Structure 1
């Protein structure tokens, strides 16, 4: 059976809304302020009163993983979630709702736990615990725990229709035993649509409905536009609403619409300056634009903040997630020593939150280290399932990353047997994803499997078959949108196609493939280098100069001894 494919190329313009003056006046936080934020986060962790004026901290507060770091005074934006619970717990409930909008689910759960400990019959605190146990945009949920709290929220029969409707909508996600995750999200979306129709003025319900609608199919133009329209209304009422701005970034984290999202990235920078995911989210837009300095600086701040916000006993998913984006940015600028430091930093931690975002980053960071540096022998030696403490069997899309990198390295070094074994494992992971109705990852793994099969064909001497299969992989990838879990593919399929076409001496076609890749993923190191070399081989001197110049500017701060392409670009630019 053919799997459903998303409409990933919106034919209608996105509806745009944003903070007054955010684009017109060009205002934004400067790079100089980012170290200040990191310093502020450090000061919070060590209970320093005035960033330099020492106090005698409690020993527990010296541990940056301590639970106290969800400081009640930390800024989160503005929400309005009236409940029938006591006035004493109301501020904590609204804090928990704000954390839900920031996708800080573990931390939100801690807050709602505190409320239930203080007021066990607060229905909306149990609703909050249910909401903390599923993450619709990330494909993760604790069904048993969430169902328990959702059922309790319903059973407590809050005195207002609105509260009872919130409880019922949460339960809609968790009901049923033999229900796929995708169907649960659809059930939640339907319930939130009913809620929104019944309570159109409920700002938080509207934001959650927009998230639900977008989560059903993030790549669909229809879903993007509908979510944008709802979020516009929320934002108009409250310009500092964390959900309106956060979810709007996801709406614009799509091909060719990233520039429309820059205003939201800049707005989110100011909403919650110590929240890890808020510090990370602007980079969803910056990575689309190839603005690597911003990607690096914001994800460094996000990773540092994430270590201050553990997910219970685990290292929060926001830490490896930020490190993956950080690694990606450094590698595009050919800052290989900084990238190596990120690799070592990630390897120094263990006991990560069992979540797709954690698993993907754990697989992606070492894979990127080898593939982006074209260390094919190193890539071929990658071991799947590291660290062993992580439940890889639950996340086939994450495990696939390692097999793809390993197989690609093996194929590029002539080890066809290892490459073929990787292809076979990718086929198994693709089938597992499809059986779970996780069609995005099934299709993503299909692209990896086809790409690897193409390079195996080339290694075995079938150049025509290799190009045909690699072209099919690239065309399939071209129908997809990037998942929010990743800054970008390990190696974009059109870049892979360009590399293959250069291998078989078809530089004009290779140049076109690199150009196609750059339309989606600008300022990638190897795509720029590939385009420059293809243009040179095709006798397109003007185009070659343009791409070598771009590469030289991109790597201006890099060590020319790190990569041959840096020296090549500087020599070409310097000789003209």
Structure 2
């Protein structure tokens, strides 16, 4: 599947740069200059490290910063770069080992010293992210770091790097329940100005995508999305990131092209976590087009990927989420119930499989089996709460609510089931998806629509499906549900409109997707 897609991309004339790890031509990574007081050779290496860092290529950036210290052992800001690299993706807590190593790097930076107050201030600001890391939870430290970066940005208003990292911190510290997106829009306003001044800066385009990666404001990120891949064609993350926006606006073919290229670049660079992350987005996009065979081929390929860290969420999440979404999106409830839980240390990752199993068991008529998996979800939620992981504990709680609602339905308690499912959908609507995922296996609001439709409430079901589509445009399952609900409600014009959308979006769907054939048959009737 991937080889075929690559051939198409090559024919289209898209970049097929194949860098070795840490050996990309700087021109294929963008342009960054971070002024330091280090010697000229060290300065050149430092800028190169920042090129990698701004595209979340952490192993490469850390290696470059270590090279800076070899070129100039008195360059204390290089240890700041090492500590920054060890945080990995700032949207997720880094492994404990990284925190210990990063704290040691910052202590070394302070010991070596920095020749300018600005460099000392950068070191002090990042120290807020590491302070008492073994006692204070990640979010509290992130908020402290954001405050420190705000002060740094105010102190150096003409320093673009300070402004850029402050904008990124505004995003990573934003509350997932803030639907005004105040932090995100504030950060984006900072970066949009810098983008005009530094159009080839990889971090500016990259972080704009993250800042706009929300349904209500995603269309604002299309320009940055289309620009970032061209700025840094040698970075796997730069090829993948446009698909965050493409997914939010339902541009499935563009998302596929983006992630096919990302997979290829990540594989060439031996970056397994990036490879798997892009593959999960690929699976999601293929399923929205009804191209199940291609989605399955990606999953099969994922099972051959090795070398990713089990303690860093991107790789393990993809390995758990893709098989779950493959079963759930297709309504293969028996397969969902039989999914095997991958062993691993991350509670939020294991929860994905237990959720799919519980939902599958309940919807295939085995509520008792579902209850065992629901109990496991409760244990994982409590484990995350004890770890003060508010976001993921809430997500697992929502998963438990959804699965419990379908158990009630399977037991014939239909009114209670609908009430519980409505509450779960409301809870999910109040939060946001995490950047590690293109989306949940199936939105709670869409599942609520399916339950309503099964019980003959077509009008309310249509409202649920349309609400899903407003938040998650061009979801195939929501279009199918909306078409059926509109038809059952007697709104033939609206039903026809949705059936036309199904055929348009999934014209190349596999023949096993009977709902596409049903849509074509419906449209043949006058």
TM-score by length of 2: 0.94
- After the TM superposition, which residues 106-117 of structure 1 pair with which residues of structure 2 at under 5 Å, given as runs? 106-117=59-70
Which of 278, 299, 306 lines up with 1:343 in the alignment? 299
Report what 2:202 is aligned to: 242
Q: How far did 1:236 drift?
A: 3.3
Task: Describe the SS at the equivalent of 2:268.
Answer: coil
**What are the equivalent positions in structure 2 for 1:442-453 lying under 5 Å apart?**
442-453=393-404
1:573 maps to what in 2? 523
Shift of 1:34: 8.2
**Distance in 1 of aligned mates of 2:480 and 2:332:** 16
Alignment of 1:463-502 (within 5 A): 463-502=414-453
Q: Which residue of 2 aligns with 1:61?
A: none
1:3-152 correspondence to structure 2 within 5 Å: 36-37=13-14, 39-41=16-18, 44=19, 67=21, 69-134=22-87, 135-141=89-95, 142-152=98-108
1:377 to 331, 334, 351: 334
Match of residue 371, structure 2, among 420, 443, 454: 420
Higher relative contact order (CA 8 A, sep 6+): 1
CA shift, 1:114, in A, is: 2.4
Output the aligned Cα RMSD: 1.7
Cα 1:70–1:201, aligned 2, differ >3 Å: closer, same or farther? same
Q: Does the 8 Å CA contact 1:107/1:309 hold for their aligned counterparts?
A: no
CA contact (8 A) 2:9 2:257 kept: no
Q: CA deviation at 1:175?
A: 1.7
Find the counterpart in structure 1 of residue 492 from structure 2: 541
Question: Alpha carbons of 1:229 and 1:115: their partners in 2 closer, same or farther (altered >3 Å)?
Answer: same
Q: Which runs of 5+ in 2 are unaligned?
A: 1-7
> Which residue does 1:183 correspond to in 2?
140
Look up the match of 2:388. Answer: 437
The 10-residue stretch of structure 1 (428-437 or 457-466) with the greater mean CA deviation from structure 2: 428-437
Counterparts in 2 of 1:456 and 1:567: CA distance versus 1, 3 Å: same
Deviation at 1:408, TM superposition (A): 0.6
After superposition, the C-alpha distances for 1:397-420 in whole angstroms (9 at most, x for unaligned) are: 221111111111111111212211
> What is the match of residue 156 of structure 2?
199
Shift of 1:294: 0.4
Please tell me whether residue 325 in structure 1 is matched to residue 278 in structure 2.
no
SS of aligned partner of 1:39: coil
Aligned residue for 1:293? 253
Give the corresponding residue for 2:5.
Answer: none
**Distance change >3 Å, CA 73–CA 193, structure 1 → 2:** closer
Counterpart for residue 252 of structure 1: 212
Output the TM-score relative to the length of structure 1: 0.86
Deviation per CA, 1:510-556: give whole Å up to 9, x if none: 11110110001111111111111111111111111011110011111
Alpha-carbon deviation of 1:246? 1.1
Confirm or deny that 1:462 pairs with 2:413: yes
For structure 1, the 5+ residue unaligned runs are 1-30, 46-66
CA distance in structure 2 between the aligned counterparts of 1:140 and 1:36, rounded to whole angstroms: 38
For residue 213 of structure 1, what is the aligned residue in structure 2? 170
Indicate the residue corresponding to 1:160 in structure 2: 116
Aligned residues, how many?
A: 511
Shift of 1:424: 1.0
Q: Is the 8 A contact 1:552 1:573 kept in 2?
A: no
Encode CA deviations 1:412-462: one digit per residue, 9 max, x unaligned.
Answer: 111212211111111122122222222221221121111000000000010
What CA deviation, in whole Å up to 9, does each residue of 1:485-519 have, x standing for no partner? 11111100110001111121111111111011000
More helix by percentage: 2
Pick closer, same or farther for the CA change 1:457–1:384 going to 2, 3 Å.
Answer: same
Confirm or deny: 8 A CA contact 1:360 1:398 kept in the other structure: yes
Q: Is the 8 A contact 1:133 1:146 kept in 2?
A: yes
- Change in CA separation of 1:120 and 1:265 when aligned onto 2, cut-off 3 Å: same
Q: Which moved more, 1:250-259 or 1:319-328?
A: 250-259
Are the aligned partners of 1:126 and 1:152 in contact in 2 as well (CA < 8 Å)? yes
